[in-house]
Amino acid sequence: MRNNTVSPARIAAFEALVAIATENAASAAVLANQRFDSLARDDHRLLQELTLGVLRRQSWLDFLITRYGQRPVASLDPEVIFALRLGLYQLRFLSRVPPHAAINESVNLVKHFRKRSAAPFVNAILRASQREGEPPDSCLPADPVRRLSLVTSHPTWLLNNWIKLWGLEEATALATHNNLTPRQVFRHNPLVVARERLDQWLTENNIVTCPGRFVPEAQIVEQGSITPNSLPVREGWIYLQEESSQLVARLAAWPTSGNARRSLWDVCAAPGGKISLIAQLRPQNSLNVATDNSWSRLLTMKSLLRRQRLDGIHTALIDLRSGVPFISQPFDDILVDAPCSGLGTIRKNPEIKWRVTPDEVKAHGENQLAILNKVADALSPGGTLTYSVCSTEKIEGEGVIERFLTTHPEFEDGTFQRLEQIGVAPALLASTTRGVQMLPHRHGSEGFFICTLLKRRTDRQA
Residues 116 and 206 in one domain: no
Burial of 21 (0-12, 13-18, 19+ CB in 10 A): middle
Residues 222 and 281 in one domain: no
Specify if 3 maps to a domain. Answer: no
Residue tagged active-site, from 139, 210, 268, 390: 390
Residues 346 and 370 in one domain: yes
CATH code assigned at 110: 1.10.940.10
pTM: 0.93
CATH code assigned at 221: 3.30.70.1170
Cα dihedral 86, 91, 95, 97, rounded to 10, equals 60
All residues at 6 or more sequence positions from 107 whose CB lies less than 8 Å from its CB, including other chains: 83, 87, 119, 122, 123, 126
Specify the pLDDT at position 2. 40
All residues at 6 or more sequence positions from 198 whose CB lies less than 8 Å from its CB, including other chains: 188, 232, 237, 238
Spans in the chain with pLDDT lower than 50: 1-4
Return the half-sphere exposure (C-beta side, CA atoms, 13 A cut-off) of residue 32.
13
What is the 8-class DSSP label of residue 223? E
Specify if 173 maps to a domain. Answer: no
Contacts 24+ apart (CB under 8 A), 93-99: 93/53, 93/57, 94/49, 94/53, 99/130
All residues at 6 or more sequence positions from 127 whose CB lies less than 8 Å from its CB, including other chains: 103
Specify if 411 maps to a domain. Answer: yes
Residues 38 and 94 in one domain: yes
Instruction: Give start and end residues of each alpha helix (H) in 258-357.
Output: 273-281, 295-307, 352-355
Look at residues 109, 139, 169 and tell me which one is the last residue of a structural domain: 139
* Angle, in degrees to the nearest 10, between helices 58-69 and 119-132: 100
Residues 285 and 214 in one domain: no
Q: What is the domain range of residue 293?
A: 243-455
Specify the pLDDT at position 4. 46
**Residue 314: count of CB within 10 angstroms of its CB:** 10
Rg (CA), the chain: 24
- Report how far residue 65's alpha carbon sits from residue 83's, in angstroms, rounded to the nearest whole number: 11
Q: What total of structural domains would you count in the chain?
A: 3
Burial of 308 (0-12, 13-18, 19+ CB in 10 A): buried
The DSSP bridge partners found for residue 238 are 188
Residues 130 and 198 in one domain: no
Specify if 166 maps to a domain. Answer: no
Specify if 409 maps to a domain. Answer: yes
Specify the pLDDT at position 136. 85
Provide φ and ψ at 270, rounded to 5°: -65, 145
Residues 220 and 323 in one domain: no
Residue type at 325? P
Specify if 168 maps to a domain. Answer: no
Residues 236 and 117 in one domain: no
Specify if 85 maps to a domain. Answer: yes
Nearest alpha-carbon partner for 450 in 390, 388, 391, 364: 388
Specify the pLDDT at position 461. 54
- Active-site residue, 268 included: no
CATH code assigned at 252: 3.40.50.150
Residues 450 and 308 in one domain: yes
Give yes or no for a contact between 336 and 347, defined as CB atoms under 8 angstroms apart: no
Nearest alpha-carbon partner for 404 in 377, 430, 378, 376: 376
Residues 226 and 321 in one domain: no
The answer to whether the bond into 255 is cis (omega within 30° of 0) is yes
Residues 76 and 211 in one domain: no
Residues 229 and 316 in one domain: no
